[in-house]
Structure 1
Amino acid sequence: MKYFFASDIHGSAFYTKKILEKYKENAADKLILLGDLLYHGPRNDLPKDYSPKEVFALLNAFKDDIIAVRGNCDSEVDQMVLEFPMQSDYCVGIFNDIYFFITHGHIYSEDGLPKLSKGSAFIYGHVHLPIAKNVDGIYILNPGSASLPKENNPNSYAILDNDIFSIYDFDGNVLKEIKLEKNI
């Protein structure tokens, strides 16, 4: 199975369209959104084509494909317009035989991991940086930010295709890649 990960859209209709285009182009099975979907937040500049109303309409068209968690910029009001659940601080799942802990990153983070066994993956957004590494047997993964990347990184998303987690820019260039093995 193939899973598509995106984080930190922050209300950008431009990058929401790019996410959905790449999601369809890659024929992924699920679109996993790691929070901060509609609002840009008080610390961020407005992203390109800031239009939360357009973003929720675009995402709602894919409601049956989306798994989402709440970010620090997401609110109960956002949930009222989104037709898929996104108010949980985290969710867990097994993707391609790897246990995933999925969160935004403002409660659980790389510096404050939940209890995970070796071979598990911790995937989060929040820091707006692409990350793909193994730390003491735990995979630490972050697709970067779709709309507001930091530290001169490009806008990005990630795909888990079987056991390969790849982070891409929107031109299709691989930024980072890691093979996930369940028996480390």
Structure 2
Amino acid sequence: MKLFFMSDIHGSVYYLNKALDKFKEEKADYIIILGDHLYHGARNPLPKEYNPKQVIEILNSFTDRIIAVRGNCDSEVDEMVLNFPIMATYSNILYNNKRLFLTHGHIYNENNMPKLANGDVFIYGHTHIPKVEKMDNIYIINPGSITLPKKNNSHTYGILERNTFKIKDLEGNTHKEISFG
């Protein structure tokens, strides 16, 4: 199974379409959205082609392929217009004998980790900064932001296939990678 990860869309039709083009090119099975679907948030600038209503239409056309969690900019009204659940603080996926703990990062994060077993994978968004590392036998991954990258990073997404997680820019270049032992 091949999983496509993105975070922090923040209502940008432009970057969502670019990311979904990569989803199709990668031939991934599912899209994992790590929160902040529709709104830019008070601390962020308006993203390119900001149009939450159009983002709703686009995302709803992929309903059967999306697993999502709630970001700090997401609300109950957002779930009323999206045809898939987004209000969970976290989700878990079992992948090749590993638990993938999925969250946005505003509640569970590196300073407030959930209880995970050795070899599990903690995947979050929120910071808009790509990251891959192994700490205390837990894999910690952030695919960055497709729309509003920070600290001079590229617009990025993640791909998980055959126990290797790659963070790629929207041109398809690999920036970071980690393999699960």
**Pairwise TM-score range, normalised by the shorter structure:** over 0.9
Identical columns (%): 56
* One-letter amino acid of the structure 1 residue matched with residue 16 of structure 2: T
CA displacement, residues 40-96 of structure 1 (integer Å, 9 cap, x when unaligned): 000000111100011110000000000000000000111111000111000111123
1:100-147 C-alpha deviation (Å, 9 max, x unpaired): 110000000011100011100000000000011100100000100010
Which residue number corresponds to residue 8 of structure 1? 8
Residues of 1 paired with 2:143 and 2:98: CA distance?
Answer: 17
Match of 1:19 in 2: 19
1:41 aligns to what?
Answer: 41
Paired residues for 1:126-137 under 5 Å: 126-137=126-137
Aligned ranges 1:50-129 → 2 under 5 Å: 50-129=50-129
Q: What letter is aligned with 1:154?
A: S
TM-score, with structure 1 as normaliser: 0.97
Structure 2 unmatched ranges of 5 or more: none
Structure 1 residues not aligned, in runs of 5+: none
Q: Does 1:161 align with 2:161?
A: yes
Aligned pairs, number: 181
For residues 40 and 136 of structure 2, what CA distance do their matches in structure 1 show? 34
Distance between the aligned counterparts of 2:96 and 2:49, measured in 1?
A: 35
User: After the TM superposition, which of the residue ranges 2-11 and 15-24 deviates more from structure 2?
Assistant: 15-24
Instruction: Give the TM-score, by structure 2 length.
Output: 0.99
Moved over 4 A (4+): none
Q: Which amino acid aligns with 2:161?
A: D
SS in 2 for 1:92: strand
SS in 1 for 2:64: coil
Instruction: State the distance in 2 between where 1:91 and 1:85 align.
Output: 11
Letter in 2 for 1:86: I
Question: Please, what is the CA RMSD of the aligned residues?
Answer: 0.6
